[in-house]
C-alpha cells in the first residue's frame, strides 16, 4: 500500500492533471454569475437604502458573483416601479444572470405582478433571489417555491372575482340598474314634457345637457 502511495506522489504534474479531466476534456471552472441588484424604499423610508445595498453586496460577495448592475429606487406608491424596468431590460439583453432584491414586496406590486416578472425572468434563464424570504430561484427548492406563488396568485384572482360577483348580486337584489346608463333615456319624461310646453329641441338639449340627436330620437 505504501508503495502505491509513493507511486502516486511520484507522478509528474501532467499525469495528475489528467485526473481533473472529464471524459478527456479539461474541467472548466464555474462561470461567475453577473448580478443585478435592486433596492427600493418609500419616500419616507430612504434611510434603509444603505442597509439594503450593503446586505445585497455582502450576499453577492459570499456567492462569488460579480455586480453588473445596481439600481436604487425611491417611490411613494405601490404602482411605481419605473427603475425596476432597467433591471428587466438588462435581463432581456442577457447582461445579468441573476436579480437580487432585499424583500419580495420591494420588487413586486402585487402577487400577480410578482409572478409575472418571475415567470419572465425564468423564461430568460435569469435567476432571482430575495434575501428576507430566503427565496433563491437558482436552486430546485426555490423554483418549487415559485410554483407555490403561482397557486397563491390564482387564489388571489379567484377571491377578487368572487367579490365582484357577490357585489353585483347584492346590487341587483337592491334594485340597482347595472351597466352604463343612457343619459337621454333617463330624461325621456322630462324631454317630452318640455316639448309639450313649447320648448325647442335645441333648448331642451341645452337645459338637460344632452345631445340634440338624442332629443330628436326620443321625440321622433
Distance of CA 73 to the CA centre of its chain: 15
Q: For residues 159 and 32, what is the distance between their CA atoms, to the nearest angstrom? A: 43
**Residue 185: per-residue pLDDT:** 62
**Residue 98: per-residue pLDDT:** 95
Q: Which three cell numbers stand for residue 15?
A: 499525469
Catalytic residue of the set 14, 19, 42, 200? 42
**Residue 216: per-residue pLDDT:** 80
Q: For residues 18 and 15, what is the distance between their CA atoms, to the nearest angstrom? A: 5
Return the biggest CA–CA distance within the chain: 124
Strands (E), 4-79: 21-22, 25-26, 34-41, 66-74
Question: Active-site residue 110, yes or no?
Answer: no
Stronger pLDDT, 15 or 140, i.e. the higher one: 140
Per-residue pLDDT tens for 33-85? 899 999 988 777 777 888 899 999 999 999 999 999 999 988 755 556 788 99
192 close to 184: Cβ distance less than 8 angstroms: no
CATH top-level class for 34-153? alpha beta
173: confidence class by pLDDT, cuts 50, 70, 90: confident
Q: Which three cell numbers stand for residue 74?
A: 425611491
Cα–Cα distances in Å, from 65 out to 23, 29, 120, 146, 170? 28, 14, 22, 22, 56
Amino acid at each position: 500500500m505504501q508503495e502505491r502511495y509513493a507511486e502516486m506522489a511520484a507522478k509528474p504534474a501532467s499525469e495528475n492533471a489528467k485526473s481533473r479531466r472529464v471524459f478527456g476534456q479539461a474541467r472548466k471552472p464555474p462561470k461567475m454569475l453577473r448580478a443585478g441588484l435592486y433596492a427600493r424604499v418609500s419616500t419616507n423610508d430612504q434611510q434603509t437604502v444603505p442597509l439594503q445595498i450593503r446586505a445585497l453586496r455582502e450576499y453577492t460577495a459570499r456567492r462569488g458573483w460579480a455586480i453588473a448592475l445596481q439600481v436604487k429606487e425611491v417611490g411613494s406608491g405601490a404602482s411605481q416601479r419605473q427603475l425596476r424596468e432597467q433591471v428587466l431590460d438588462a435581463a432581456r439583453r442577457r447582461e445579468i444572470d441573476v436579480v437580487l432584491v432585499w424583500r419580495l414586496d420591494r420588487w413586486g406590486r402585487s402577487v400577480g405582478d410578482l409572478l409575472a416578472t418571475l415567470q419572465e425572468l425564468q423564461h430568460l434563464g435569469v435567476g432571482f433571489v430575495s434575501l428576507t424570504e430566503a427565496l433563491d430561484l437558482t436552486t430546485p427548492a426555490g423554483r418549487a417555491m415559485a410554483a407555490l406563488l403561482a397557486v397563491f396568485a390564482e387564489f388571489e384572482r379567484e377571491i377578487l372575482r368572487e367579490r365582484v360577483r357577490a357585489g353585483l348580486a347584492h346590487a341587483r337584489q337592491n334594485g340597482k340598474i347595472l351597466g352604463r346608463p343612457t343619459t337621454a333615456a333617463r330624461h325621456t319624461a322630462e324631454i317630452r314634457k318640455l316639448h309639450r310646453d313649447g320648448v325647442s329641441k335645441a333648448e331642451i338639449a341645452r337645459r338637460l345637457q344632452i345631445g340634440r340627436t338624442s332629443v330628436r330620437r326620443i321625440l321622433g
